[in-house]
Structure 1
Amino acid sequence: MDRPRFRAYYLHPRFWLLWLGLGLLWLVSLLPYAVLMRLGRWLGALMMRLARSRRQIAARNLELCFPELSAAERLQLLRENFASTGMTFFEMAISWWWPQKRLLELGQFDGLEHLQQAQAEGQGVILMALHFTTLEMGGGLLGLRQGMYGMYRPHKNPLFDFVQRRGREQRLLGVVERDDVRGMLKLLRAGAVVWYAPDQDYGAQRSIFVPLFGVPAATVTATSKFARLGRARVIPFTQVRLADGSGYKVTVHPPLADFPSDSEEADGLRINQWIEAAIRQHPEQYLWAHRRFKTRPPGEAKLYKKRRA
């Protein structure tokens, strides 16, 4: 895709409120990192009180995925998760707008040799990410240490889409739209590294049902297909917000061996097992506000309350 260009249309009055919000976010992002994370926790607490629908979705997901926890333990996990979600807004600003040197001071890196080896052998890489609340920070930090592309879903608001793409592409070589299968395969066959997250519910049409936390989950088969058709390795990576407040640990894990297999079901199960294990290490930092189990197998009851009009 071409680099995003500013359009006079973005100055239309319909965008003025968004410009104001983005300007305030940019101004606040100049504050020290520790202050931003404290503000994030306060914002998360406010969101938990006001964002009723998202709170119900996250609480339901925790109930489905951690039935072994008591109600009090899940409530505490929910509070920590909203605090983590609040921090995401400021981490997004940091990853887009901080100078490269200042941003890199927040990162600790492990396992980069797995990417370096694949690149040395001319192998394309599907860099398998997960939707942790720290996703923007992980991509921004790793993009400064490893040239890579990102798979991208355009935002409905054209101005926000422009700002988001421009922010991300400062750290990446470029982006490819999620539906651009041909572009994705072309990059992989050329030996590129492509950042890709397969852990959300994209509906039944492109998915199969395999367990995640013991719950049948619509799981995309694209990871296997991209790996096979693009002749690429699948290398997972995670990023964790450090407990001491010093920044983030970005870990590139070993490539999935013998992947893909001859079975999409086996591949989907293997990916979901990997995702589940990664989430269990830091469940408070995962994006539980997404309706991960929205799509159900035929005949199964829906797991979330119906949204109000």
Structure 2
Amino acid sequence: MTSAVPTPPNPGPWWLRALARLPLPLLRGAGALLGAALYLGAPKRRAVVRRNLALCFASASAAQRRRWTWRVFVHFGQAFVDRVWLWHAPAALVARRVRLQGDLDALQRPGPVLVFAPHFAGLDAAWTRLTQALARPWAGMYAAQTNPRLDAWVRAGRNRFGNPTTIARREGLRGLVRALRGGAAVYLLPDMDLGREAAVFVPFFGVPAATVTSLPRLAVLGGAPVVPVLGRLDAHGYTVQVLPPLANYPSGDDVADAARMNVELQRWIEEDPTQYHWLHRRFKTRPPGGAPVYEQGPRA
């Protein structure tokens, strides 16, 4: 594995740099408390998680789904707090806590690579570690935060290692295609409900879900293999699993390729449902004539 030149820590406030050096169990405890507060204080978001799990895991018992709901919030809180050390701790500590495994050669090949990064708890950890460890051009899409200070913190954290290219969401596929054609590894998160535009309805856990076709389209336009990367939270920090490139993908049929993306994602989620970002209303966009599946509540 090649090593990127270490980037100085995100300067940030002094107290974040101090917190970043605390033992991991202490930080994980703080994250669990944050997750518990969100679980108790955000009943509408809790209802979204429960509804998602009921739709996708109908055969699981109600008690099992309640336990999973709790763990989803705990993992969300822990992943948020972990950004403190991911973005402010010494580089050696980040490298020690975030372990890379799998087909790393797939990400180090010459030329463009399209990274399929689903919304697992270790999404930020995977990006941070990959840009730290692999000395190659990186690019990713960025949606600005509404709070300017939060936006500056998130932007600095995600750009900590490797000097990646940040592409504004308003640039759409054009910016991503440009990065791929320039030989970058593009980190793509195509597994959320982004509305009807450029989406098709294909099953996700057996439920019709509006699924964007950006993954196969970018693979064709950029001439890039699709490499799945799964970042999961664990007791030692995170494990980032780099899977082999998807074989025979894309097929040339956007609907079939979107369906296959969901099938692969479903299989990875089933390994531990609590690691996935179920707080998102994955089924908010319904097929023509389809009834809403959520009560009035969060719009994201």
Asked if Structure 1 and Structure 2 have the same fold, meaning a TM-score greater than 0.5 normalized by the shorter chain, the answer is yes
Kept after mapping to 2: 8 A contact 1:36/1:90 = yes
Q: Secondary structure at the match of 1:88?
A: helix
Aligned partner (choices 248, 265, 268) of residue 255 of structure 2: 265
Deviations 1:37-75 (A, max 9, x none): 112112212221111111111111111110011111111
Aligned partner of 2:96 in structure 1 is 105
**Post-superposition shift, 1:26?**
5.3
Aligned partner of 1:284 in structure 2 is 274
Aligned partner of 2:220 in structure 1 is 228
Aligned partner (choices 168, 184, 188) of residue 177 of structure 1: 168
Kept after mapping to 1: 8 A contact 2:97/2:236 = yes
**Post-superposition shift, 1:127?**
0.7
Distance in 2 (alpha carbons) for counterparts of 1:178 and 1:225: 17
**Post-superposition shift, 1:254?**
0.7
Deviations 1:159-210 (A, max 9, x none): 2222211111012422112332222112111221011110100001121000
**Post-superposition shift, 1:230?**
1.0
Aligned partner of 1:188 in structure 2 is 180
Amino acid at match of 1:194: V
Aligned partner of 2:68 in structure 1 is 77
**Post-superposition shift, 1:266?**
0.5
Distance in 1 (alpha carbons) for counterparts of 2:295 and 2:15: 35
**Post-superposition shift, 1:24?**
6.1
Aligned partner of 1:38 in structure 2 is 29
1:247 has 2:248 as partner: no
Aligned partner of 1:142 in structure 2 is 130
Show structure 2 runs of 5+ residues with no match.
1-11
Q: Secondary structure at the match of 1:209?
A: strand
Aligned partner of 1:7 in structure 2 is none
Aligned partner of 2:157 in structure 1 is 167
**Post-superposition shift, 1:23?**
7.2
Distance in 1 (alpha carbons) for counterparts of 2:236 and 2:296: 41
Q: Secondary structure at the match of 1:150?
A: strand
Identity of aligned residues (%): 37
* Equivalenced residues, count: 283
Aligned partner of 1:210 in structure 2 is 202
Give the TM-score of the pair, scaled to structure 1: 0.87
Kept after mapping to 1: 8 A contact 2:45/2:279 = yes
**Post-superposition shift, 1:248?**
1.5
**Post-superposition shift, 1:156?**
2.2
Amino acid at match of 2:26: V
Distance in 1 (alpha carbons) for counterparts of 2:63 and 2:17: 37
Deviations 1:60-93 (A, max 9, x none): 1111110011111111111111111110221122
Deviates more, 1:292-301 or 1:106-115: 106-115
**Post-superposition shift, 1:240?**
1.6
Amino acid at match of 1:131: H
Distance in 2 (alpha carbons) for counterparts of 1:308 and 1:97: 31
Distance in 1 (alpha carbons) for counterparts of 2:215 and 2:63: 37
**Post-superposition shift, 1:260?**
1.4
Distance in 2 (alpha carbons) for counterparts of 1:90 and 1:201: 25
**Post-superposition shift, 1:157?**
2.2
Aligned partner (choices 287, 292, 296) of residue 302 of structure 1: 292
Distance in 2 (alpha carbons) for counterparts of 1:196 and 1:134: 14
1:125 has 2:113 as partner: yes
Aligned partner (choices 93, 97, 102) of residue 84 of structure 2: 93
Distance in 1 (alpha carbons) for counterparts of 2:41 and 2:21: 27
